[in-house]
Amino acid sequence: MRVLVAGGAGYIGSHTCKALARAGHQPIV
């Protein structure tokens, strides 16, 4: 699933992107 992460370049957003990618999702920043 593609997931839009608003603020993905910040501290919390970057960790959220990594967790989503590990779970098999496609994070979009």
The 10s digit of each residue's pLDDT in 6-21 is: 998 899 999 999 999 9
Cα separation, 23 vs 10, in Å, equals 20
Check residue 11 and give its pLDDT: 94
Check residue 1 and give its pLDDT: 95
Check residue 27 and give its pLDDT: 96
> Does the pLDDT value for residue 5 go beyond 90?
yes
Check residue 8 and give its pLDDT: 87
Domain ranges of the chain: 1-29
